């Protein structure tokens, strides 16, 4: 049997010494497209952070706060996704004098996320939706076996969000995304994990669940 990417058994998860989720048992297999659902504050971010920390494979992360540096350009924020692929000297050189091939690589990603030609603009000058696109672009440039996203398309309209979720699905074999939109969840997920009352209330194939089943998580 192929070992799972991550396996949690009866775990208590939290931060700052405070338990947020209890009795968490979860096994993540390669190739799954998992969506986490539940009210704000129920523990989706805590679960995502735990899964990210325990992944042994290369992962890309789209955090809820975007994790961008406002004083740097869009180019440099997206390039951060591959900083650990290069040595210190190359990264310093790229900070000052990016090569044409490096700019072209980032520009290809900007085309995907709808920010063509904006590589030189400072992130501090961008709208919330544009910043979210930069964070998604950084994850797409990084690539890897797994992408984890904490509300990765909330600042985008439904059509834009759906298109970018499709790009993540095409780029990464495995995805674990915290979403709020039930319709999006049913469209992109192979499996849905619903959190409620400090634990996992739903863990089932997406095809076995209805919109009503998932809306019950928010009551």
157 and 215 assigned to the same domain: yes
Tokens (6 digits) for 177: 């995304």
Of 128, 143, 158, the one marking the end of a domain is 143
Answer whether residue 180 is part of any domain.
yes
29 and 50 assigned to the same domain: yes
Residue 211 structural domain: 1-58+144-219
Mean pLDDT of 122-149: 97
48 and 96 assigned to the same domain: no
pLDDT tens-digit series, residues 72-102: 999 999 999 999 999 999 999 998 999 999 9
88 and 189 assigned to the same domain: no
pLDDT number for residue 185:
96
Answer whether residue 218 is part of any domain.
yes
CA-closest candidate to residue 200, choices 38, 32, 15, 49: 38
123 and 183 assigned to the same domain: no
Answer whether residue 76 is part of any domain.
yes
The pTM assigned to this predicted structure is 0.94
Mean pLDDT of 156-160: 92
Answer whether residue 64 is part of any domain.
no
Mean pLDDT of 155-160: 92
Tokens (6 digits) for 36: 């986490």
User: What stretch of H or E contains 211?
Assistant: helix 211-215
Report yes or no: 89 and 137 within 8 Å, Cβ to Cβ: no
24: pLDDT strictly greater than 90 = yes
Answer whether residue 130 is part of any domain.
yes
Of 111, 143, 175, the one marking the end of a domain is 143
pLDDT tens-digit series, residues 169-206: 999 999 999 998 999 999 999 999 999 989 999 999 99
In sequence order, what are the residues at sequence separation of 6 or more whose Cβ sits closer than 8 angstroms to the Cβ of residue 16?
A: none
Question: Number of folded domains in the chain?
Answer: 2
CA-closest candidate to residue 31, choices 202, 182, 146: 146
Mean pLDDT of 21-44: 96
73 and 171 assigned to the same domain: no
Answer whether residue 51 is part of any domain.
yes
**CATH code at 54?**
3.40.50.300
1: pLDDT strictly greater than 80 = no
Cα 20 to chain centroid distance, Å, stands at 20
In sequence order, what are the residues at sequence separation of 6 or more whose Cβ sits closer than 8 angstroms to the Cβ of residue 109?
A: 78, 137, 140, 141
Report yes or no: 186 and 214 within 8 Å, Cβ to Cβ: yes
Answer whether residue 63 is part of any domain.
no
Please give the C-alpha separations between residue 107 and each of 104, 140, 181, in angstroms, as whole numbers: 5, 12, 30
The pair phi, psi for residue 204, each rounded to 5°, is -155, 160
């Amino acid at each position: 049997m192929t070992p799972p990417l991550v396996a949690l058994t009866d775990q208590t998860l939290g931060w700052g010494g405070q338990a947020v989720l209890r009795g968490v048992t979860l096994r993540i297999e390669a190739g799954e497209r998992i969506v986490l659902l539940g009210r704000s504050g129920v523990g989706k971010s805590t679960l995502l952070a735990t899964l990210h920390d325990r992944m042994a494979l290369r992962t890309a992360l789209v955090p809820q706060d975007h994790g961008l540096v406002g004083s740097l350009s869009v180019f440099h924020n997206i390039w951060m996704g591959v900083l650990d692929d290069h040595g210190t000297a190359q990264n310093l050189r790229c900070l000052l004098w990016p090569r044409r091939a490096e700019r072209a690589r980032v520009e290809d990603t900007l085309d995907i996320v709808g920010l063509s030609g904006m590589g030189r603009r400072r992130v501090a000058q961008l709208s919330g939706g544009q910043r979210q696109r930069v964070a998604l672009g950084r994850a797409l440039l990084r690539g890897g076996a797994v992408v984890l996203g904490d509300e990765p398309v909330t600042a985008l309209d439904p059509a834009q969000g759906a298109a970018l979720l499709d790009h993540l699905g095409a780029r990464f074999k495995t995805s674990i995304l915290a979403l709020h939109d039930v319709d999006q969840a049913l469209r992109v997920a192979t499996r849905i994990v619903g959190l409620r009352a400090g634990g996992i209330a739903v863990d089932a194939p997406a095809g076995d669940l209805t919109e009503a089943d998932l809306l019950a998580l928010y009551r």
